[in-house]
Amino acid sequence: MNEKVRETIFRKVGQEPFAQKFGIQLLELEEGYSKVGMKFTPDMENFLGMAHGGALFALIDEAFETASNSHGTIAVALNMNITYISPPSPESNLIAEAREFSKTQKTAVYDIKLHDEQGHLIASCEALVYRKGTPLPFLNE
């Protein structure tokens, strides 16, 4: 993987307001692969006292965003299909990993798994991205 792309994406995720709001951290990044983490905190609960689906989706989406843009060109989501398997325990550390399994000049498809720190599967997602083919605009900052 291009080291400049890796360093820049790590920096941009650290500055991203949405990631900061949820405490999302980029842990690993390779071409077509990303691993992100966040702690499930009480302010992420729904009115049933369980993890809000939107909070879990946020972590999955960050893994998708970083994996699909890891080639150094702009990629935008076209479709995401998520299945919630089981709720995480309160205060658990969550990890989402996105893996590219198909890539063409214009599209790419990713398998994204969300686990807790014990390895329990929390959610699974298949996502499709449109690859614009233009360089990431912040690479020269």
**Positive or negative, the Cα torsion across 44, 46, 47, 48?**
negative
The fraction of the chain above a pLDDT of 90, given in percent, is 99
The tens digit of pLDDT for each residue in 120-130 reads 999 999 999 99
Spatial distance between the Cα atoms of 53 and 40, rounded to a whole number of angstroms: 12
Average pLDDT for residues 17-40, to the nearest whole number? 98
Average pLDDT for residues 35-49, to the nearest whole number? 97
Q: Show me where the domains of the chain are located.
A: 3-135
pLDDT at residue 140 is higher than 90: no
The fraction of the chain above a pLDDT of 70, given in percent, is 100
The tens digit of pLDDT for each residue in 62-73 reads 999 999 999 999
Helix (H, G, I), strand (E, B) or coil at 83: strand
CATH of domain 3-135: 3.10.129.10
